[in-house]
Amino acid sequence: MPTAEIQLTAAAYEELPGWGNDDLTAALPAWRRSCDRLARLAPETQLGRLAIGGTVRDWTDICADIRAAPADNGVIRELVEAHLRPFRVSAGDRSEGLFTGYYEPIFAGARARSDKFDIPLHAVPPDLVEVSLGDFDAALDGRRLVGQVVDGRLQPYHRRGDIQNGAIDGKNAELMWMADPLEAFILHIQGSGIIETPEGEVVRVGFANHNGFDYVSVGKWLIAAGELPEHQADFEDIRAWMENNPARARDVLAINERYIFFRELTGEGPLGAAGEVLTPERSLADDTDLLPLGVPIWLDAEHPDPAADRLQRLMVAQDAGNAIKGAVRGDFYWGTGDAALAQAGRMKSKGEYYILLPRSLDVTRLAAVNP
């Protein structure tokens, strides 16, 4: 792989900003869930497209100790330092990047369409086709296409605007119905959420698939078009713009051609890209084309509240996002509801992070590691 994509530089724990101050036990639920997932995989399974995380076998010892360890900060710190060594992640010589936040919203909705609830959330349509390119060429392992078969040929699936205008009506793909188009759009951006029905039912929905198009920020588009001032494009700003421009709202939402399909979840949630339950303030989404899921990360980033201390803590890479691209780029999971939104909605923080890798891992074989 090109070393310009991602570079790992060995560091000492003393170099990690705030290393001695974090309560590492708060990361145990997230880390143990990731260890449980690894335990279900074959020992030789490679972690990540670039194998930066080695194989499942490299994590066996630390995972066994983490599962058995008491919730004692000193014990966890000793285990981490004994088993793992930190590497600063950078893109070439740039180790500072952007960290945003996301959350699980709670919105009103219904199982049946009505005059009030007439905005659909869709399940995966029956004509959507997903192709794993690695099945055809090993060099393309991990890559996939999403589309539909038209006249015997695989073609792109419908764009958001087409779906909004009824392109998949009649396919019996409606999962839930919502009253507010922006709230439905927010669910598409966050990838999961909780729907509260008029009957008192609480339904958790999560990401099932997408239509194959890349994410485009509507907020950034509104700023570039001069519709919103710079740095004033959070959800409430966009909502106010939509209320003032109802005739244009659907077309502007369609700027983001990416469309998310959902599934109903039972049990705990929300689920990250690896199928694990996310842990508020300890689960991180990153670029899984570069970094593996399930590994511990030391984060040092600005807090979205200027009066709060920096976010210097142990995280676990457990999620992905279409907008989360690049070696030094992360999305911080804040939790569920309005309190989480208050932090996630304004988080655009500068920061850096370190990946923690097993000391038993032969890092000399990695093109990403500085000599």
| Per-residue pLDDT reduced to its tens digit, 105-130 | 999 999 999 999 999 999 999 999 99
- Of 71, 87, 69, 88, the C-alpha closest to 79 is 69
Query: CA 315 to CA 327: how far, in whole Å?
Result: 16
Range(s) within the chain of domains with CATH label 2.40.40.10 = 7-101+274-334+345-365
Q: What is the pLDDT of residue 125?
A: 97
Query: CA 167 to CA 211: how far, in whole Å?
Result: 12
> Could you read off the pLDDT of 174-228 as tens digits, one per residue?
999 999 998 999 999 999 999 999 999 999 999 999 999 999 999 999 999 999 9
Average pLDDT of the residues in 248-270: 94
Report yes or no: 259 and 211 within 8 Å, Cβ to Cβ. Answer: yes
Query: CA 289 to CA 140: how far, in whole Å?
Result: 12
Residue 180 CB-density burial (10 A; 0-12 exposed, 13-18 middle, 19+ buried): middle
Q: What is the pLDDT of residue 371?
A: 60
Domain 104-265, CATH among 2.40.240.50, 2.170.270.10, 1.25.40.10, 3.50.50.60 = 2.40.240.50
Q: What average pLDDT does the structure give for the chain? A: 93
Whose structure tokens read 């086709």?
129
Range(s) within the chain of domains with CATH label 2.40.240.50 = 104-265
Report yes or no: 291 and 89 within 8 Å, Cβ to Cβ. Answer: yes
Query: CA 284 to CA 323: how far, in whole Å?
Result: 14
This prediction has a pTM of 0.86
> Residue 140: pLDDT band by 50, 70, 90 thresholds?
confident
Stretch among 6-15, 76-85, 138-147 having the lowest mean pLDDT: 138-147
> Residue 3: pLDDT band by 50, 70, 90 thresholds?
very low
Query: CA 342 to CA 305: how far, in whole Å?
Result: 9
Q: Hey, what CATH class is 7-101+274-334+345-365 in?
A: mainly beta
Cα distances from 197 to residues 67, 110, 241, in angstroms, run 38, 5, 27
